[in-house]
Amino acid sequence: MSSMWATLQRAACGAGLNQRRDFFSWLTQWFSKAPAKAVVAQKTPIKVELVAGTMYRWCVCGRSKKQPFCDGSHFFQRTGLVPLKFKAQETRTAVLCTCKATQRPPYCDGTHKSERVQKAEVGSPL
Ligand code: FES
């Protein structure tokens, strides 16, 4: 996020003062500098069939309605978070995290069984 911010700042340097001000006020409105916290989407993982060579976008923010994958909610809700892109190396069934607390994203590592996740409300940050 910070490198994107720096790139956009550099791009705006060529514009006039008023254009720059408008550009930065627009940017500030759409992108907060501090990303939002991920929220618990569900408290159990989801089994999915991954196809070798296919790119997937795993939801990092927890706000997607197409768990465990991204539906663009991170952008429309201005979270400052981005999905995790990964390419399946082989065709297989995988268990993907939906609690967003795994230490092995996008895969479930069992963290959802912890008291911290089980006591959290769905839709709330941990
Ligand atoms: S669903 Fe998140 S660690 Fe299992």
* pLDDT at residue 54 in the model: 98
Residue with tokens 């809700």: 77
Q: Which of 40, 48, 112 to mutate to test the pocket of ligand 1 (most atoms within 8 A of CB)?
A: 112
Of the CA atoms within 13 Å of residue 68, those in its CB half-sphere come to 26
Domains of the chain: which residue ranges? 1-30, 46-119
* pLDDT at residue 69 in the model: 98
Q: Which residues line ligand 1 (CB under 6 A)?
A: 45, 97-99, 101-102, 108-112
pLDDT tens track for 36-55:
999 999 999 999 999 999 99
C-alpha span between 61 and 80 (Å, rounded): 9
Q: Would you say residue 6 has pLDDT above 70?
A: no
pTM for this entry: 0.76
Q: Answer yes or no: are the C-beta atoms of 41 and 64 closer than 8 Å.
A: yes
User: Residues for the chain: how many in total?
Assistant: 126
* pLDDT at residue 19 in the model: 73
